[in-house]
Structure 1
């Protein structure tokens, strides 16, 4: 039996009509795909940030640790602007 929430019904866990109820192996596949995508994106960001730290930007000579600190500062500002917790 489904629980009534307002005018909509919520599905029970293990409901055979849900995405994973009919194909339980799909849940594990989806989790693995999401983890793989997150790892690929992390590697992309890491590669891009390493390039920013290593390369002299527009004629500014800075030590890598100073660039790293500046990048962190920028990320904190972006976090505040986007209201990310």
Structure 2
């Protein structure tokens, strides 16, 4: 809710002045686009992580299980540093 001119203002669901009020089909289109973008980003991350696990770094021979565990440990540290729940 936004405070406006000394009183509380709340948009009603279906309000024609809302983003989707004048074009309700746009909501479904936006949801589908967001799902597609999320899936594309997920695939990008999977490809990148797969490369990290399968390729041997110069001078570092490790089993894939060990690499996977190390990547998870790094992700947990990043999560803590960024204070992500």
* TM-score, L = length of structure 1: 0.90
Gaps of 5+ in 1: none
Shift of 1:57: 1.2
1:34 alignment partner in structure 2? 34
The change in CA–CA distance for 1:12 and 1:61 in structure 2 (over 3 A counts) is: same
Distance 1:81 1:6, change over 3 A: farther
- The answer to whether the Cα contact below 8 Å between 1:2 and 1:12 also exists between their aligned partners in 2 is no
Report the secondary structure of 1:3's partner residue. strand
Q: 2:2 touches 2:8 (CA, 8 Å); kept in 1?
A: no
CA distance in 1, matches of 2:72, 2:7: 47
* Cα deviation, residue 59, structure 1: 1.4
- Alpha-carbon separation, structure 2, partners of 1:67 and 1:9: 53
Structure 1 residues 79 and 27: alpha-carbon distance in aligned structure 2, compared to 1, 3 A threshold: same
Q: Is there any run of 5+ residues in structure 2 with no aligned partner, and where?
A: none
Query: What TM-score results when the alignment is normalised by the length of structure 2?
Result: 0.90
Q: CA RMSD in A?
A: 2.6
